[in-house]
Structure 1
Amino acid sequence: MCTRAVYFGKDNQTVTGRTMDWKEEMHTNLWVFPRGMSRNGGLGDASLTWTSRYGSLIASVYEGGTADGMNEQGLVANLLYLAESQYHVEQDTRPAIVITVWAQYVLDQFATVAEAVAEIEKESFRMVPVVAPNGAEGTVHLAISDPSGDSAIFEYINGELKIHHAREFQVMTNSPVFDEQLALNRYWQQIGGTVMLPGTNRAADRFARASFYINACHQSDQAREAVASVFSVMRNVSVPRGISTPDQPNISTTIWRTVSDQKNRVYFFENTASPSLVWVRLSQLDFSEGAGVRKLTLDGNPDLAGDQSTSFEPSEPFQFLVPAV
């Protein structure tokens, strides 16, 4: 479930796309968070604390977590499912961040991938998982990209942080872990996508298709063409609505897609139950300290369409999901 890919167009036209694949609707809405917000990792006195340096536009899940978004510097964060994730380390007393807050922490604090990697690799905090409202284990990994095309993948495997940091790490899906995905993809690169590509909904097959198509499609300097190309790749690796395989946790319906134009700071959202796109121009959002939190209600409003940059309404921020006491 879920696929992410980064497109390198001409004239610094960098665009990141992702699918959100899940077995049920996640009641997603879009939120604007300004600079200067006091934040914490979700576990009270045991939490890491910070004040947001950058404003961000994010997509929430279950009104309890940040799953996707872009900040005012063009840094994009995409949270995807990974069954192999293991965070817990016995007797770990470092300040905590609940996984529902992880992507928001990155968007709040960093302008570039290099900045985020330099701080996160210090391992000054610990990750704490949470169970989703439907009872699913919240095991995830995080991909980030910036307008330069730089990327990083963060995974916690057997309690250890693994970071893959390079421009070449354009694609992420789900299981197996990223090292193994790269090995599998090398096989398909040898065959060549013009000869044959794997066509199932399995994560490894989606990885191979996304890796080939994101570079095979026209690398344009035009924003419209670049965004359209990324949407076409994301649709190619999507899972049809109504499909969910209980014994295959990495195969679920694609419920929405996002595409982030990082050069022009435009965020596109596509609900697969809707005939239309929604987009937001970050240049038209007020991220200044004290500007207040604002919300664009997508849940229950599938006919919303077009530029919604001025349609956000003041709102209290949602509360991040945390582990049950």
Structure 2
Amino acid sequence: MKKSFKKTAFALGLVASASLGAISSAQACLVYLGASNNEHPLIGRTVEFGFDEQTQTSFATDFINFPRESHFTTYGADKPLSWTNKYGFSGMAHEGLVSDGINEKGLYVAMLWFADGKYAPRDESKPSIASGSLGNWILSHYASVDEAVKGLSQTSVYQSADNHLGIELPMHLQLVDKRGKAVVIEYIDGKMTVTDNSEFGVMTNSPKIGDHMVAYRELLDANPHLDVSKPSVKGMLAGLPGGYTAVERSVKTAVLKDLTPKPKTKVEAINQVIHTLNNTDYVKGASSFPSRGLSGGAQETSFITIIDMENNDYYYRTVDSQVLHKVDIDKVDYSQGNPVTSFDIYGGIQYIDVTYRVQ
């Protein structure tokens, strides 16, 4: 991480309450910009969610493809907004709502839980989108981070429990485009805030992104041997957080991201992202949320995703299959008139039998 960023983060005026022990933080999802073998972004993402403890059924998720001019309708309004998409896009969807996806122009969106968020009331004078529909809306309309930020500034985003989970979906988002620009968008006290996250790169759940950045700065101040910008004797990562709260996960990932050497190949880069994500993996049922509607109860890392924005490859791995699966986005036909297609991501290959190699 560059010194200029660290100094900027330290000067944000957030230091007073931002220690690892002081921040109230939720658990769950994570997204970050991994070390790439070139200038093109490589994104890693985890999704933590509840599962049915009786049937062991995971959070229903489909990999979905929306061709151009597909029809969408948001929820939670007497006269809900409907639209068709300018750009084709693909990603992980829950009852048609994409929470992690990329469009054909190379704009990526990750939506994560943000309990500290507060949305303004619905403004009918603007295009009005329920928070859970943000992924579909952004991927439908925008080709870059700058376009998306401008468009969202002219959009009313509101809360409603009229969705598949039956609860309000307080979200903050990380947007990344092919140029490597990354921003976090949060709705705080009824206002949209935009934070450049191109260098820090990591986002988890609540609290707000600025608090995560300051917690990271404070960790490095207390553990200079983890700071790659300072000449020091490297040790065995002493002082690196080992817990699973959102702040601990983001700070741990940020440090590992810094310490990861630049990979020589794309395969090496992808493998490094997987190893980093493994450091925050929820063992099935070990963690539990007291209440969050259908998303509460015993938790698991339902799936991870890795997006290679150079080759437009979308990888994923699920809780029931540790084998990496790939969708080549360049081979998806987004032509207008094609049907929406999807498949259940679970139930993949359990293992690869290589007994033949010793026979």
- Which bin holds the TM-score, normalised by the shorter protein? 0.7 to 0.9
Greater radius of gyration (CA): 2
Q: Which residue of 2 aligns with 1:303?
A: 349
Q: Which residue of 2 aligns with 1:56?
A: 89
CA 1:201 to 1:91, structure 2 compared with 1: closer, same or farther past 3 Å? same
CA 1:196 to 1:74, structure 2 compared with 1: closer, same or farther past 3 Å? same
Offset at residue 212 of structure 1 (A): 1.2
- Residue 214 (structure 2) aligned to one of 157, 164, 183: 183
Cα separation, 2, equivalents of 1:149 and 1:8: 12
Offset at residue 9 of structure 1 (A): 2.0
Q: Which residue of 2 aligns with 1:78?
A: 110
- Residue 120 (structure 1) aligned to one of 128, 152, 174: 152
Q: Which residue of 2 aligns with 1:172?
A: 203
Q: Which residue of 1 aligns with 2:22?
A: none
| Cα displacement string for residues 279-320 of structure 1 (whole angstroms, at most 9, x for unaligned residues) | 100111101111221112224x343899xxxxxxxxxxxxxx
Residue 96 (str. 1) matches residue 143 (str. 2) = no
Q: Which residue of 2 aligns with 1:216?
A: 259
Counterpart contact for 1:277–1:305, Cα < 8 Å: no
Cα separation, 2, equivalents of 1:112 and 1:7: 19
Counterpart contact for 1:46–1:95, Cα < 8 Å: no
Q: Which residue of 2 aligns with 1:206?
A: 249
- Residue 228 (structure 1) aligned to one of 231, 249, 271: 271
Offset at residue 168 of structure 1 (A): 1.9
Q: Which residue of 1 aligns with 2:335?
A: 288
Mapping 1:125-274, distance limit 5 Å = 125-130=156-161, 133=164, 136-190=167-221, 191-192=223-224, 193=226, 194-247=237-290, 252-274=299-321
Secondary structure of the residue aligned to 2:178 is: coil
Offset at residue 8 of structure 1 (A): 4.2
Q: Percent identity?
A: 25
| Cα displacement string for residues 242-281 of structure 1 (whole angstroms, at most 9, x for unaligned residues) | 1233349799421110010011100011102213221100
Counterpart contact for 2:76–2:163, Cα < 8 Å: no
- Residue 105 (structure 1) aligned to one of 129, 137, 143: 137
- Residue 41 (structure 1) aligned to one of 52, 74, 80: 74
Gaps of 5+ in 2: 1-27, 52-57, 227-236, 353-359
- More displaced stretch, 269-278 vs 85-94: 85-94
Q: Which residue of 2 aligns with 1:9?
A: 36
Residue 23 (str. 1) matches residue 50 (str. 2) = yes
Cα separation, 1, equivalents of 2:307 and 2:276: 14
Cα separation, 2, equivalents of 1:131 and 1:241: 29
| Cα displacement string for residues 9-68 of structure 1 (whole angstroms, at most 9, x for unaligned residues) | 24323111110011222211101111122334335674444431211111112x242111
Offset at residue 174 of structure 1 (A): 0.9
Offset at residue 4 of structure 1 (A): 0.6
CA 1:214 to 1:132, structure 2 compared with 1: closer, same or farther past 3 Å? farther
Offset at residue 89 of structure 1 (A): 2.4
Q: Tell me the C-alpha RMSD between the 2 structures.
A: 2.5
Cα separation, 2, equivalents of 1:182 and 1:281: 34
Secondary structure of the residue aligned to 1:186 is: helix
CA 1:198 to 1:304, structure 2 compared with 1: closer, same or farther past 3 Å? closer
| Cα displacement string for residues 176-233 of structure 1 (whole angstroms, at most 9, x for unaligned residues) | 1112112111111222434421110011100101111123213225221111111111
Offset at residue 117 of structure 1 (A): 1.2
Offset at residue 131 of structure 1 (A): 6.1
Counterpart contact for 1:96–1:128, Cα < 8 Å: no
Counterpart contact for 1:13–1:226, Cα < 8 Å: no
Cα separation, 2, equivalents of 1:218 and 1:46: 52
Cα separation, 2, equivalents of 1:241 and 1:132: 26
Secondary structure of the residue aligned to 2:50 is: coil
